[in-house]
Every structure is written in C-alpha cells, then in structure tokens.
Structure 1
Amino acid sequence: MTAPLLAHATPHGRMYARSTSEQPAVPSITTVISQLPSSLGGWYGHMAATALAKDPRLPGALGNPAELRTTVRDASSAAERYRDVAALRGTRVHHYCEQVALRALGRPETLDAARLALEENGEQGFAQRFDEWWDLYDVRPVEPEITVWNAALGYAGTLDLVATIGGRTCLIDYKTKNTDRDGFVKALDDKVVMQLVAGMKAEESLVDPEKGQWRPWAHGDQPLLLGVAVGQTEVRAMRANPAVLRNHWLRFCALRRAWEAGLEAEEAGRALLPVGPPPARTGSHPASNPGSTGTTDSTGPAVPA
C-alpha cells in the first residue's frame, strides 16, 4: 500500500529502478506474485448484486428501462469502489505504522497527522490496536520501509519493517484487515509468505535513491518472517513456517519466470495475423491432383487445400 520512490506503475505492473534518474528495470515482488491465477468473478457478482439490492433508486427504476440501466451500471462498479476505498484505508494504516517506527528511531515523522487522518475517517481503532501490539511485543525498529533488490533473479520490493522482537531479527509485512462477525481480525493469505521470503532473499538494500547507492543486504540470515494483520479490534502476528519457505521461494521463482515469459510474448509481435481466402482456381480440384499441397495468397501464408 506504499509508494516507494523508485517504484513506477508500468503496463507490465509495478517495477523498480536503481535510482531516480534511471528507468524501471525489474518487477516488484507484488507484481511477480500477481502472476498467480485468481478468480474474483463470484466476489464481483456478489458486490454488484448487493449494491443493486440496497440502491434506493431500484423500486422506482423497475418501470423505467433507462433509469434501470443506470442503476445496474452503477452497481456493476461496486467492487471497484470497494477496492479503491480499501486501498486508501490501507495506505493510511501503513503510513501510521511507519510513523510509529520513525518516532521510535528518533527520526523526522508526522505521527500526529497520521493518527488524525485515521480519526477523520473513523479508523482510529487501527491506530489504537497497533499501539497496543507494538508495546506488547516490545518492537524495536531497525528500518521501516526499506527497499531491497535481487539482481540474480531480477526483482525488487519494499519491506514494511525490519525490527527486533525478543532479540530476534524480524522482517515484517503489515496487512490491513477487516473484522469478522465474531470481532476477530480476518486471516492473512498464505501469499504473504512468498512476499516475505522474497524479501529475505534480497541481495541489496537501498541507501540513497537519488544517487542509486545500495549496500549488501544485512538481514537475510534466517530472520523471523512475520505477517501482521492490523484490524480495528485486534492485531494478530503470524509467523511464516520455516519448513515451507523453500517451497514458497521456488514458487516465487517460477512466477518470476512466468512474468518474464509474458513480457517476451507481448514484445514478440502480433500473435494472430489475418489470412484471406485462396484465389479462385481455374484448374482441377486439388483432391484430384496429389501434387497440390496448398496455395499462397497475396496477404497471408499458405492456405491448406
């Protein structure tokens, strides 16, 4: 949910550059993971149907085709509106979490403004629960919002936080989550393990984005990988199972190759070419001529007889 300085939106997904003066060169960790197939058709349909059922214009629109079409069209974008609202909320929550770490490190921060932004949107519960978790786990920040790079495989990304907890180095990724009907924060997706293990496998971390200065990655020696679900009612930290890290890393590598293969296919040229009908024949039918294998027209390849 953050917008690191070296990250750029491109037609091929979010990509990273080595400095502010260079062009994007590698995909982001999240762009690689997005190559996983996903089926949201049911959710999109549910959101649209729910929005239509709750629309106060619906009763009056039933006898008016033009108004009904407008109502249905508005309902069809309900999922996109929900997604956009959730993205803005996630940005506000992530920003607050970053400011907490910056204050703890004694660096310039805007923590009060970040809390106010949450309060203005009725989201102060996220800040309250996060503060409680931060104190309970005695989080000692090392570096918030740290951009990392892996040249061997070709990807980059930004980790929400490197910290020590209980004397262990931890790589942390925050996920803003809603609360279920029982008051518990909703579960994290297993994909967070891929995100964290890709961060752990980094080779460099960013020092100066303007100069393009990087240094060897200092936190890849078996850190604790934590996905932290931040909600209005609680914050729940989940540890990546060390026994599955290799599997998730191999899956990430395969997705990176899939991203590159897709890019190469797009850049190779048109996948489909027009072909016209064969010219009219004046001789015998090809079936009676064993030597005939096809014909070539002026606009396309040979057309089989």
Structure 2
Amino acid sequence: MTAPLLAHATPHGRMYARSTAEQPSVPSITTVISQLPTSLGGWFGHMAASALAKDPRLPTALGSPAELRSAVRDASSAAERYRDDAALRGTRVHHYCEQVALRALGRAEELDAARLALEENGEGGFAQRFDEWWELYDVRPVEPELTVWNTSLGYAGTLDLIATIGGRTCLIDYKTKNTDREGFVKPLDDKVVMQLVAGMKAEESLSDPERGDWQPWAHGDEPLLLGVAVGQTEVRAMRANPAVLRNHWLRFCALRRAWEAGLEADEAGKALLPIGPPPSRSVAAEPALPA
C-alpha cells in the first residue's frame, strides 16, 4: 500500500483532503470497500495454532504453566505479525512498480534502491517477474500513483498506474500475492473490480497537491480495468468483466452510504446511557385506629 500525500489516517478510516492545507473530507476507495463484511476468525485461529505448533518452546512448556502461557500469548499475535509483514512487503513491491514507471517516463526515480530493498528482504523475485511482465505486455506508462476525486458521491483514491497497452488506455491496480503449492500466484479477490470501477468513475485527478489543483478526469472513455497479481513466480493480469461493472459500482455506492451512516451514528452521541433503578414507591399510610 502506498501513502499518497493527501491521504490521512483517521478514526473513520483512511480519508483524503483536497490539498495539504485542508483537513480530510472524504473516505478513500479502500475505506469504502472495507465496509463490506468479512470474517477472519478462522484464519486468525489457524495462524495462532500454526505458530504455537512450530514454537520450539512447546515441548518444555507443556510441563510449565508459566512458559506455556508465554508461548500461547506470542502465538495469539501471529496473525497480526503476518499482516504487518505482508503490508510492508506490499509497500516495497508497489514502490518498485512505481519506480519502473517513473524511469520509463524519464522522471526522477529510485529504481535501483527499490530493487535493492526487495533483494535484501528475499523478495527479488517480485522485481524479476514484474520486469518480465512489463516487457511482455509492452506497458506504456501515462501516470503512476495518480490521486483521483469524485465529488458527486464523495470519495477519493490513488490509482497505481494509468498506462496504454496494445493501444488501449488501462487503469491498473497491483496486488502483491503469495505463491500456491503449484507455483502460481494466488487469485485476485473480486473486490478489485469495485476498486477499479470506482477509479474509473473519478471526476477529477490531482495535478498539484500543495496548491490543491485538480483537473477534469481525462481517462474515463471505457478504459480497460486490470487487476495485476504480482508474485515471486509470476505476474498475472486479469481484466474486469465489462458486463459486471454496473453491479460493482452500485455495490460501491451502497457501501459509501453505509460508511456515511456509520460516521453519522458515531457523531450523534453515546449510543448507550446508564440508567438506575426506578424510585422506590412510598408505602401507603395505615388507617388510624378508632378511638
């Protein structure tokens, strides 16, 4: 994941501002999509169990409650460690892909340093496979890491790359992927179509983040939407099916409304208020005895 200049981490998710002098005002495309319910309970449990099973302390810990608790505690954070490591790897791979485009455009770049960072982390295969894909598809970059804005619905995002391939304008989103047992990159999630169609529906693109200069969106004439899975063993490009774009756009719109409803609920005030027991009922006075 990249860190565009106008993107900010907020309690309501990643949000974008119109310039460096303004506060964030709209959610990012990925924040909107994150409203989609997901269940990772099984994966978290699997990661914890696997980490515990591989822990070298386990044989001796079985006879020591204190050591066993320590091993279990460490194993319980295995999923978070894996997630954080994957995020850092994704950032390094995305950075490399951006530098390839910048060099092709003749702009200032850090390609050699980006490749070295991958190699130092045992990830040189990502760079090699990406270079092969870039040449095979004859990618002609137009603009890498382009921030876009949609005022009508209220969201913003940053596209990994706009390029021409085979004479067609393409909106490209990279996904760093692991390799399966057969040596193929793992498949892309269908949510990438929502991400791409939201980018296609942009109304403006950023030209100067410091001044907050934007220009009308110039790439919306039915571009090809490509999700590109970048792995150590191969790079696989998948085209978004034009027949389903409308459905995924409507779903994105619904998720945008869900995000706003959640924001309004959070800002409306406390959802739960303390309440005490009802007041005690007074005991009726007994009638006076006759004289």
TM-score interval (norm. to shorter): over 0.9
SS of equivalent residue, structure 1 residue 229: strand
Aligned to 1:301: none
Aligned to 2:138: 138
Letter in 2 for 1:38: T
- C-alpha distance in structure 2 between counterparts of 1:214 and 1:203, whole Å: 10
Pairwise CA distance, 1:221: 1.1
Letter in 2 for 1:110: E
- C-alpha distance in structure 1 between counterparts of 2:219 and 2:180, whole Å: 35
TM-score, normalised via structure 2 length: 0.97
- C-alpha distance in structure 2 between counterparts of 1:185 and 1:67, whole Å: 38
SS of equivalent residue, structure 1 residue 92: helix
SS of equivalent residue, structure 2 residue 108: coil
What 5-or-longer segments of structure 1 have no aligned partner? 285-305
1:6-30 Cα distance to aligned partner (Å, 9 max, x none) = 0000000000000001000000000
Pairwise CA distance, 1:283: 5.4
**Superposition map of 1:227-266 within 5 A:** 227-266=227-266
- C-alpha distance in structure 1 between counterparts of 2:276 and 2:104, whole Å: 70
Q: Percent identity?
A: 89
Pairwise CA distance, 1:64: 1.1
Pairwise CA distance, 1:282: 2.3
Aligned to 1:124: 124
Letter in 1 for 2:240: A
- C-alpha distance in structure 2 between counterparts of 1:210 and 1:280, whole Å: 65
Aligned to 1:154: 154
- C-alpha distance in structure 2 between counterparts of 1:281 and 1:23, whole Å: 54
- C-alpha distance in structure 1 between counterparts of 2:73 and 2:263, whole Å: 33
SS of equivalent residue, structure 2 residue 5: coil
> Which ranges of 4 or more aligned residues in structure 1 deviate by more than 2 Å?
none
Pairwise CA distance, 1:32: 0.1
TM-score, normalised via structure 1 length: 0.92
Aligned to 2:86: 86
Matching of residue 173 in structure 1 with residue 173 in structure 2: yes
Letter in 2 for 1:181: R
1:157-179 Cα distance to aligned partner (Å, 9 max, x none) = 00000000000000000000000
1:260-282 Cα distance to aligned partner (Å, 9 max, x none) = 00000000001111111111112
- C-alpha distance in structure 1 between counterparts of 2:114 and 2:254, whole Å: 38
RMSD: 0.7
Aligned to 1:274: 274
Aligned to 2:31: 31
- C-alpha distance in structure 2 between counterparts of 1:162 and 1:283, whole Å: 80
Letter in 1 for 2:152: A
Letter in 2 for 1:117: A
Letter in 1 for 2:46: H
- C-alpha distance in structure 2 between counterparts of 1:280 and 1:203, whole Å: 63
Matching of residue 189 in structure 1 with residue 189 in structure 2: yes
1:20-67 Cα distance to aligned partner (Å, 9 max, x none) = 010000000000000000000000000000000000011111111111
Aligned to 2:289: none
Aligned to 1:41: 41
